[in-house]
Structures are given as C-alpha cells and as structure tokens.
Amino acid sequence: MKSGGDNMTAYLVVDTALTNPEVYETYKLKAKPLVEKYGGEYLDRGGKLSVKEQKLWAPTRMVLIKFPSAADAERFYQSEEYQAVLEIGLRSADRTVVILEGL
C-alpha cells in the first residue's frame, strides 16, 4: 500500500452540469489528450448515477480520472495547455472539481 504524498494515486473528481452540450463536446475532445499526456486515465465519464445520500451535495454528471499522483493531477490542471481548454469547459458547464488522494 502506498504511504501518501507524491507517490499516492489521485483522482480528479468532477461534477458537471452542462449548460451548452454542443460546446462541451469541443472541451471533451481537447481535454482528453491532455489528461493522457499527464498520466491520467478516465475511469468514468458521465455514467449512470445511483445517488444513495445527498445531504451535502446532489451530484449531476460525474467524471472520474485517475492520475499516478496528486502532483500529476495538479500539473495537469494547472498546465497552460489545460487552462486554455478549461475556458471552453467553463463556458459550457457549471462544475465542481476536486483532487482526491487515494490508494
């Protein structure tokens, strides 16, 4: 088992409410190769939700991306390339994004 820090797997968790699905398709096409460039792997992208509890938050459309480490996830998110693509995503969806360290 990994002990934490830079060597721990991390997950980029995104909850997305699409406001312009057509424009969001452009975002998805441009974001995917950048995710992969930074070592990310999509585990789920908008799959069916079965919400069991939602007192703190009611998820809409979830995306789950696995990165080798939190540092890799941060490098991806903060990269100049992604920031340019992110602008498209922000114009076409309301989102919550979290980097979660995991096993």
Domain locations in the chain as residue ranges: 5-48+59-101
Domain 5-48+59-101, CATH: 3.30.70.100
Token pair 């938050």: residue: 57
Q: Which pair of structure tokens corresponds to residue 74?
A: 């941060």
Nearest to 14 by CA among 70, 79, 69, 66: 66
What pLDDT is stored for residue 1 in this prediction?
A: 37
Calpha distance 101→51 (Å, rounded): 22
Helices (H), 13-69: 21-37
- pTM confidence score: 0.89
In the numeric block, which tokens belong to residue 50? Answer: 């079965």
Joined tokens for residue 92: 């076409």
Per-residue pLDDT of the chain (103 residues; tens, 9 = 90+): 344 455 799 999 999 999 999 999 999 999 999 999 999 999 999 999 999 999 999 999 999 999 999 999 999 999 999 999 999 999 999 999 999 998 7
Rounded Cα distance between 50 and 60, Å, is 11
Burial class, 103, CB count within 10 angstroms (exposed 0-12 / middle 13-18 / buried 19+): exposed
Quick one: pLDDT at residue 50? 93
